[in-house]
Amino acid sequence: MERREVACPLCASTARFAMTVGDRFYGVTEYEANLYRCETCASLFQDPIPDRQTVAGFYPGGYWRETVDTSIMARLQAFYIRCMLKADLMGGVERLGPAGGDWLDVGCSRGDWLALIRDAGWSVRGIEADPRAAAHARKIYGLEVDQVDGDDWRPEPETYDVLSFFHLLEHLRDPAGFLSLCHRALRPQGRILLRIPNIESWQGRVFGRAWKGLEMPRHIVLPTPEALIRLLKKKGFRIEHVTTWALRDGPPSIASSLLPSGEPTRQQIEGRSRPLVTLTYLALTWAFLPLELLAAIFGKGSMLTIIARKTN
């Protein structure tokens, strides 16, 4: 394939070919992504962007852990995931102050987090592109979830008080256009809560193409923190909180980079349980937690979380 100069989708500057990366983590596709790095903002992105039919093949059965498993190991994993959601993501919810407004989670996946937000007192709704994940959220949690691709979302103006999208922006074809829609959908002084992988993290630099946060070919655009913050300001948002510490996602990213076969999602996709490998994976996660915390202190943690407020 021809490797050429292309325009960055975030700042329109010239970008040059960086590397080609395949599906190292799940091995469900032979597609290889050509990654380009912007010469101005240093963000990474795919070019060309795969068509939607190709992208659908990147998300096999089990990717969303949509199958209800009643085994002891599965129940322990579900309890652990719920604890991590409460300890990590609900901290961002608490930063927003008293509950009671209208909350939309874009890319709500199985609805695990959205159900906790509802239980905290918010009026919630979700949208999710994958029919399996959306069905799970409706059936298991009784949530209102519309099956809509984030790239196709067209909200009514001034409908929500909070918009959240964790690990969604990097999957979108047009993140800048999506943020414009977020601004339109929020009521005056409404806020967004988002998380993406931090490509300027210590993990990203150490692991390179083997880093879990890269996760090609599912991730299409990976902004640097500086590029994303500039884009948010350009779209009419004021930054209120930035952190690269993420208990649920940061340390496990190291474990996934070192031992991909131990990741629960991969085992779901493969349709087999490997308890000893899973326990090793969990041990790696907690062993590297202090290192990831140190990285976050220096702003180099593996995940970037931002709270921003609509200003105009």
- For residue 69, the model assigns a pLDDT of 65
- For residue 67, the model assigns a pLDDT of 66
Task: Please name every residue paired with 237 in a beta bridge, in sequence order, or none if there are none.
Answer: 310
Q: pTM above the 0.85 mark?
A: yes
- For residue 73, the model assigns a pLDDT of 67
- For residue 222, the model assigns a pLDDT of 97
Domain at 62-310: CATH code? 3.40.50.150
Q: In tens digits, what is the pLDDT along the chain, a chain of 312 residues?
A: 556 789 999 999 999 999 999 999 999 999 999 999 999 999 999 999 999 999 989 998 878 676 666 667 667 777 888 888 898 988 899 999 898 999 999 999 999 999 999 999 999 999 999 999 999 999 999 999 999 999 999 999 999 999 999 999 999 999 999 999 999 999 999 999 999 999 999 999 999 999 999 999 999 999 999 999 999 999 999 999 999 999 999 999 999 999 999 988 898 888 888 889 989 999 999 999 999 999 999 999 999 999 999 997
